[in-house]
Amino acid sequence: MRQFVFFWTTVFLYLLKTTLWAQPLPTAPAASVEWPAYGNDAGGMRFSPLKQINTGNVKQLRVAWTFRTGELDLYKGTNAHEKAAFEATPVMVDGTLFFTTPTTRVFAIDAVTGQQKWSYDPDVYLRQDLSEVTSRGVSIWPAPADKANASALKRVFVPTLDGRLIALDAATGKPIPTFGQDGTVDLRAGVGNISVTSPPAVIGNTIVVGSSMGDNQRFNYERGVVRAYDALTGQLRWSWDPIPRSKKDPGFETWKGPNATQTGAANAWSIISADAERDLVFIPTTSPSPDYFGGERLGANLNASSIVAIRASTGKVVWSFQTVHHDLWDYDNAAQPLLFAFNQNGKPVPAVAVGTKMGHIFILHRETGSPLLPVEERPVPASKITGEVAHPTQPFPVTLPTLGLQKPEPWGRTPEAREAAQRRISALLFEGPFTPPSLQGSVIAPSNVGGINWSGMCYDPESGLLITNINRLAAVITLIPRARLSESVKNDQNLMRAETGMQSGTPYVLKRSYLMDKDEQGISLQTAPPWGTLAAVNLKKGALEWEVPLGFMYDPEKVPQARQWGSINFGGAIVTAGGLVFVAASLDGHLRAFNTRDGSLLWEVPLPAGGQAAPMTYQLNGKQYVVIAAGGHAKVGTKLGDYVVAYELP
């Protein structure tokens, strides 16, 4: 009998070993899993390995706590309420959430309870001329491990709207007196009237910061310099100007004309990515000034509208890949360059994914900038504007799908609205992608809000899906000879209502509007829906895996089709190992969770104000939280507020 029992016990253990133990055993989640940077990792994958919240239980999420900043009180007596946008993504380190408000006040709150630990007010003067009133967050510099700096404190680096870089003690919120001048470096000194709206990159003991500035008022804006500072002392380590200023600078020959060296901008206002192992930072540069007329800067304009890899220790350019030659469309590289391992012929290759406003996705080798998937130069329309020479070709990815609106298809909810849309579009110039601005008025599709905008992308390394939210909106760009401005506007009501850019120093004034109108239910776009989507691109297959409408712009109770039409959106997505994509962004003010596998909507909850920010997630004491800033976006008309909301499972 003992032999019989022993035999079957042996068989049982063998079967158990070969069926259960042969599979990876589940590991207990760590008590603490942080979110230490804007995109979680320094390369902006916005992926979390957490799976406590998953496809099976996400519908059970409830509010864990809500924190209010009191921000709206600061707007009184200023025009900040017309520009403010709460776009911050908190970071979580050592059990504390750190974030900025639109006016760059800084808060540190307990990540479990939502109770305030400290706050810091840089006292930004809100009555000055500020192009934007927003801040996407802070960066954390960990205390160094080297003995020489062992006494240094963990620091919170805060970029401000009035062009300062401030170092705070992460424990107390007090400025570090040994950094710069009493904790502050003046970024405007020697440059001019710049702002900073995105957190700086941290790479070793170096802090790399870009800048933000206005658009389209003149051709000679401030220089779009990117600078690196010592994290301990605030001393300048290097400075890089995207625009070549002398004949010795590489690419000088691609900036032609007597005034080309006076061109401003080409700045990096979005998130800069960092690869510490390779000593590289990846700079997403933008259009030179002004955005829509390049007659003062003829040529390809090397390093503008590009992704530029710079050696973090020296400031030397390693490579540059231009996403738009001679940008005439405000096609800034608004999305953070995403660093990931690309599977090529079964081997991981260090890569950077570049998502653009044109809806293009480029996959480049991180060390060389060479395309890992084919890119080709294709002919594009020529300019009809006197003094302008559009670049004859533009780069197009060959194998990956193009996302966003590529052609204006007239649309309206009624036959009359559709006819009005048809008449308007027919009167404008559209010759395909990269149609240049014109006197007639040109349809720009996608518009300057994307495609892919600053909302950026996230990447799931388990499925190989690159996920992003998309705008499908067309702009109308009209250039008016300066001498005929009054006459032109008087005779065209659409031009009268359009946004104006004076473009001083050029022969033309800019008028920018969008193919949209209003009806009794609210905003109505004049191009066919969906107007906003969430899309997943399978990088293993090189194909679109799924694309679904994101949000709604009409009340679904009154317009049942509204959920199929999607919404204009600002604010990124994150993806988790629990099989979920979390995103708000849409104009309807909801936070949603989608199934990573097929894009199906699993959960949605109304926010107390607009959710124009990327959420984040972390785990403390064995419990996972999802957190989002809900404060709205004045320029797109969502409800303003001052909320940070955390969600948890029961």
Q: Nearest CA to 230 among 251, 203, 256?
A: 203
**How many angstroms from the chain centroid is the CA of residue 646?**
22
Helices (H), 451-580: 485-490, 493-497, 562-565
Q: Report the C-alpha gap between 475 and 358 in whole angstroms.
A: 12
Bond before 530 cis per omega within 30 degrees:
yes
Give the 3-state secondary structure of residue 375: strand
Cis peptide before 451 (omega within 30 of 0): yes
Q: Using CA atoms in the order 519, 523, 524, 526, what is the torsion angle rounded to 10 degrees?
A: 120
Burial label for 606, CB within 10 Å (0-12, 13-18, 19+), is exposed
Phi-psi region of 216 (alpha: psi -120 to 50; beta: other; left: phi over 0): left
Q: Tell me the HSE value of 183 on the side-chain side, using a 13 A CA sphere.
A: 18
632, 639 contact by CB (below 8 A): yes
Tell me if 293 sits within 8 A of 223, measured CB to CB: no
- b/e per residue 128-167 (b: at least 16 CB within 10 A): eebbbbbbbbbbbbeebeeeeeeebbebbbbbbbbbbbbb
Order of strands across the sheet that contains 306-311: 273-275, 280-284, 306-311, 317-322
**Which active-site residues does the annotation give?**
330
DSSP string, 468-487: EEEE---EEEEEEEGGGHHH
Nearest to 192 by CA among 153, 225, 241: 225
Q: Which residues pair with 102 in a beta bridge?
A: none
For residue 379, the tally of other CB atoms under 10 A from its CB is 10
* Helix%, strand%, coil% for the chain, nearest 5: 10, 35, 55
523, containing H or E segment: strand 522-525
Helix (H/G/I), strand (E/B), else coil: 11: helix
* Helix (H), strand (E), coil (C) string for 397-412: ECCCCCCCCCCCCECC
CB 222 within 8 A of CB 264: yes
Neighbouring C-beta atoms of residue 482, cutoff 10 Å: 13
A 10 A CB-CB count for 113 gives: 11
CA neighbor of 180 nearest in space, from 228, 221, 231, 135: 231
Query: What does DSSP assign to residue 611?
Result: -
Angle at 628 between CA 627 and CA 633, to 5 degrees: 175
